[in-house]
Amino acid sequence: MLIKTVFSGFGGQGIILMGYLLATGGMYEGKNVTCLPSYGAEVRGGTANCTVVISKEEIASPVASEPDYAVVMNTPAMVRFQNQVQTGGIIFINSSLIEIRPIRGDLEIIEVPLNELSKQLGGNKATNMIMLGTFIRKTGLVSLETMINVIKDTFGNRPGIFKLNKTALSIGYNYLE
């Protein structure tokens, strides 16, 4: 088992954090993980990517030329990654923002209307956590319990943020019911 996920979107959408949390989750569950954020000049244009590989074995390359999953949070991300995902892979789309859809027939597409879902949180907040919730539900890469632990350890000392993120995670998790 070796699963590669790419997260991509604007700089401000908490992309790197999603990757980081997922990787930490994989680690908590005793797997090998790598997490490779984009960096430097690339950031200037406003795009951010983060690649997470989770595997039972040693990981050869933290780069994912053919990811199993892609989480795309804006249109440029959609354009860039729609052709890279492996046959049979899944694309998670922020459908509040992205109007186009991949034309490939060999992919599963999960549309998540993040803006609408985030209204429950008082609007446009923690959309990355919502998406992450949906993502782990669908892929089963990491359990909800683990992810809540990760969030607790990460934001434990800021209870407000922890609560917000936890709620957002559940909203996303439950969205796929």
Partner 1 sequence: MKKVFSRPKSIKKNPFHYCPGCGHSIIHRVIGEVIDELGIQEITIGVPPAGCAVLAYFYFDVDMGEASHGRAAAVATGLKRALPDRIVFTYQGDGDIAAIGTAETIHAASRGENFTTIFVNNGVYGMTGGQMAPTTILGQNTTTSPGGRKERRDGFPIPLSEMLAVAKGSAYIERTAVNSPSNILKTKRAIEKAFRAQMRGLGFSLVEILSPCPTNWKMSPVEACHWIDEVMVKHFPLGVIKDITGEKKDVN
Partner 2 sequence: MRGNHVIAEAAIRAGCRFYFGYPITPQNEIPEYMSERLSKIEGGVFIQAESEIASIHMVIGASMAGGRVMTSSSGPGISLKQEGISFLSALELPAVIVNMSRGGPGLGNIAPSQSDYFQATRGGGHGDYRTIVLAPNSCQEAGDLTYKSFDLADKYRIPVLILGDGMLGQMMEPVELPPEIPVKRLPPKEWTITGAKGRPSRFIRSLILDPFEEEEHNWKLMRKYEKISKEELLWETFSIEDAKMIVVAFGTAARIAKGAIKRVREEGLKVGLFRPISLWPFPTKILKEISRKVKHLFVFEMNMGQMVEDVKLAVDGGAEIHFYGRPGGIIPTPLEISRIISSYYYQKKLG
Partner 3 sequence: MTLAQGMIEIDQELCKDCKLCVSVCPKKLIETSDRLNQKGYYPAFYIEKNLKKENRKCTGCGLCAIVCPEIAIEVYRA
* Interface with partner 1 (CB under 8 A): 40-41, 43-46
110-123 burial, b for 16+ CB within 10 Å, e for fewer?
A: bebebeebbeebee
| 1 touching partner 2, by CB under 8 A | no
Binds 20: which of partner 2, partner 3, partner 1, none (CB < 5-8 Å by kind)? partner 2
Give the whole-angstrom CA distance, residue 3 versus residue 88.
Answer: 13
| 159 touching partner 3, by CB under 8 A | no
Ramachandran sector of residue 7 (left: φ over 0; alpha: ψ -120 to 50; beta: rest):
beta
| 39 touching partner 2, by CB under 8 A | yes
Binds 135: which of partner 2, partner 1, partner 3, none (CB < 5-8 Å by kind)? none
Binds 155: which of partner 1, partner 3, partner 2, none (CB < 5-8 Å by kind)? none
- Phi–psi pair at 74, nearest 5 degrees: -145, 175
First-last CA distance in the chain: 26
User: Which residues make up the interface to partner 3 (CB under 8 A)?
Assistant: 10, 46, 74-76, 97
